[in-house]
């Protein structure tokens, strides 16, 4: 994310958290206006979806849209609303995690990613590949090669293009084992980790 995108993600995040905390309408509405002033004409599709889902949550929560809806229609809408709440929670925590990672706050990034993981029900496999790849990168930045490998492999498990994914983020082949000697990385692991660092950019571009 560039600086503008980081700023808008932070603003949407604060707006969403104010609703979760049950702040008064006036304060929440002011944060909505602040977000709308910052919105660029063009932005990443993920950030745009994040804004639209939070806006939906705002309308449902603070404008009591369902109170004006017929009971039968309301019953039909409830599952969709719950699914939307899960989606906005997933996007919120995963984007905050990505923002923390880009700012070098790797422990905070990991915390946010694990919170996002709680809302992954119904999330598409392509998004899971991307998500677990980012989580693995944060562990890698903390030199926790064991956990990084766990999540890189989990990303691979959701990918239908397994051979391409292996090449892009430097997975070990099925014929090789992951060996740890009292917490020290083997030379093979060091090469694999370096491969993850240098090739992950091409993986991200392919998504």
For the chain, the average pLDDT equals 76
pTM: 0.67
Q: Which residues touch 91 (CB under 8 Å, ≥6 apart)?
A: 46, 49, 50, 53, 116
Domains along the sequence of the chain with CATH: 1-123 (no CATH), 124-207 (1.20.58)
Per-residue pLDDT of the chain (207 residues; tens, 9 = 90+): 788 888 898 999 999 999 888 888 889 999 999 999 988 888 788 888 889 889 988 887 776 655 555 566 566 667 777 787 888 889 899 999 999 999 999 999 999 999 999 998 877 788 888 899 999 999 999 999 999 999 998 888 876 554 444 444 444 323 222 333 334 344 444 554 455 555 444 444 444
Residue 175: C-alpha distances to residues 13, 172, 178 (Å): 44, 8, 10
């Amino acid at each position: 994310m560039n600086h503008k995108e980081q700023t808008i993600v932070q603003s949407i995040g604060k707006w969403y958290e104010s609703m979760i905390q049950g702040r008064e309408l006036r304060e929440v509405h002011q944060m909505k206006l602040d977000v709308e002033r910052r919105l660029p004409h063009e932005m990443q599709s993920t950030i745009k979806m994040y804004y639209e889902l939070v806006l939906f949550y705002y309308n449902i929560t603070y404008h009591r849209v369902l109170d004006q809806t017929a009971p039968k229609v309301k019953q039909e809408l409830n599952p969709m609303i719950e699914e939307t709440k899960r989606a906005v929670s997933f996007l919120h925590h995963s984007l905050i995690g990505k923002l923390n990672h880009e700012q070098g706050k790797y422990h905070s990034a990991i915390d946010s990613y694990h919170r996002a993981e709680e809302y992954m029900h119904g999330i598409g496999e392509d998004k899971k590949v991307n998500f677990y790849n980012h989580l693995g990168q944060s562990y890698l930045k903390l030199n926790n090669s064991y956990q990084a490998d766990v999540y890189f492999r989990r990303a691979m498990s959701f990918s239908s293009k397994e051979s391409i994914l292996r090449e892009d983020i430097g997975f070990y082949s099925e014929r090789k084992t992951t060996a740890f000697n009292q917490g020290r990385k083997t030379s093979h692991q060091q090469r694999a980790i370096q491969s993850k660092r240098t090739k992950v950019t091409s993986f991200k571009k392919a998504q």
